Amino acid sequence: MKKIIVTIDGPAGSGKGRIAKYISKKWGLYHLDSGILYRRLAEVLNNKNIDLKNIDKVKKIIKKHKNLSFRKNKNLRSEKISNIASKIAVFQYVRKYINKLQNDFVIQNIDKKGFVIDGRDIGSVVFKNADLKLYIDVDVKIRAKRRYKQLIDIGEKSIYRQILKDIRLRDKLDKNRKNSPLVIPKGAYVIKNESSLLNTYNKINKLIEKIQYGK
Ligand code: DC
């Protein structure tokens, strides 16, 4: 099996994480969730009560943390951390720092395994030369419903209308920021993930089969 790099970009709640997990298992690729790194940094800043407008303080924290854990936990998915993560993701120095962590990790491990990496700028900025680039698209109301259910499932109180508002705001921040906005990467396949996941998986598997076996 070739050690390929697959990138998955898409807006919040598009299901890209779940899709990445599936591809990782099915094709034996290492899954890197780049959003976790933004969330990890958000958690550090939140725990230290850092004012996000104080750029010098944020930079100081970044300098101190030569690495961030890729490990997931429930707290990283809370609305508070989600909102801080999307706020810090607009800063170029934050993006540079997190891109380097991802690059280093891939370079250190690509001899062992291929990668599937999901985020907002993976195919457009971080791994422009990936073997396969995917962009997952889902209507905002469907995403809000899914997110609402996710939050209820982890026991967080939530209101659908507020979630919809938050997701719209996050989309706006992701798509309109100056640095690495969320775009469909050049050469990416746009996959609508609105009907069945099986449908989505089948489409993606065909694309990977083509790369692996040339069929
Ligand atoms: O995918 P996610 O919801 O876990 O991402 C958390 C935040 O980090 C989100 O606001 C967008 C930002 N992010 C980003 O700007 N670029 C990435 N490659 C991944 C995430």
DSSP 14-83: SSHHHHHHHHHHHHTPEEEEHHHHHHHHHHHHHHTT--TT-HHHHHHHHHH-S-------GGGGSHHHHH
pLDDT reported for residue 144: 95
* CATH number of residue 65's parent domain: 3.40.50.300
Total structural domains in the chain? 1
Q: Determine the atom of ligand 1 nearest the C-alpha atom of 121.
A: 18
Q: Determine the atom of ligand 1 nearest the C-alpha atom of 13.
A: 3
pLDDT reported for residue 50: 95
H-helix or E-strand spanning residue 115: strand 115-119
Structure tokens at 130: 């990936």
Q: How far apart are CA 174 and CA 177, in angstroms?
A: 6
Q: Which domain holds residue 122?
A: 4-213
CA of 33 relative to ligand 1 center, distance in Å: 9
pLDDT reported for residue 6: 98
Q: Alpha helices of 48-196 — where are they, by DSSP H?
A: 55-64, 79-88, 92-109, 140-153, 160-176
CA of 39 relative to ligand 1 center, distance in Å: 8
The residue contributing the CA closest to ligand 1 atom 20 is: 35
Is the C-beta atom of 76 inside 6 A of ligand 1? Answer: no
> Residue 198's Cα: distance from chain center in Å?
21
CA of 120 relative to ligand 1 center, distance in Å: 6
Is the C-beta atom of 12 inside 6 A of ligand 1? Answer: yes
Provide the edge-to-edge strand list for the sheet that holds 115-119: 30-33, 115-119, 5-9, 132-137, 189-192
Nearest 5°: the CA angle 15, 17, 19 is: 70
Q: How far apart are CA 115 and CA 107, in angstroms?
A: 11
> pLDDT 10s per residue in the chain (215 long)?
899 999 999 998 899 999 999 999 999 999 999 999 999 999 999 999 999 999 999 999 999 998 999 998 889 989 899 889 989 998 999 999 999 999 999 999 999 999 999 999 999 999 999 999 999 999 999 999 988 998 899 888 889 999 999 899 989 988 998 999 999 999 999 999 998 999 999 999 999 999 999 86
Q: Determine the atom of ligand 1 nearest the C-alpha atom of 89.
A: 15
pLDDT reported for residue 184: 97
Is the C-beta atom of 35 inside 6 A of ligand 1? Answer: yes
Question: In a mutational test of the pocket of ligand 1, which residue from 9, 18, 21, 38 has the highest number of ligand atoms less than 8 Å from its CB?
Answer: 38
Q: How far apart are CA 134 and CA 204, in angstroms?
A: 8
pLDDT reported for residue 1: 85
Structure tokens at 8: 């998955």
Q: How far apart are CA 20 and CA 17, in angstroms?
A: 5
